Amino acid sequence: MDLMGKYIKMNSQILDLIKSFESDSKNQKDRYDQFLLYVYLTFDKRIKNINAKATKDKYKEMRTKLLQYIVANKREIVKNLK
């Protein structure tokens, strides 16, 4: 998969997470921090429910890359959080 394909896939995963995320905070920084925690815990729940080590490692890597992407693109993420 080329770099653009990875970006589009990553972006669609983030958009899905943003759509399912709910925050009670009006403060953008608090919402962003809550979103980071939400993403981490969402993946953590999936990882705990999987028995195969290879699949767990795959989800751990996905979680790490997704969180790195969110941190690197904080402004864009904050704009999309409601």
Q: Are 75 and 15 in contact (CB under 8 A)?
A: no
Length of the chain: 82
pLDDT at 3 over 50: no
Rg of the chain over all Cα atoms, to the nearest angstrom = 13
CA nearest 15: which of 25, 3, 7? 7
Give 19-37 pLDDT, tens digit per residue: 999 998 999 999 999 999 9
Give 39-51 pLDDT, tens digit per residue: 999 999 999 999 9
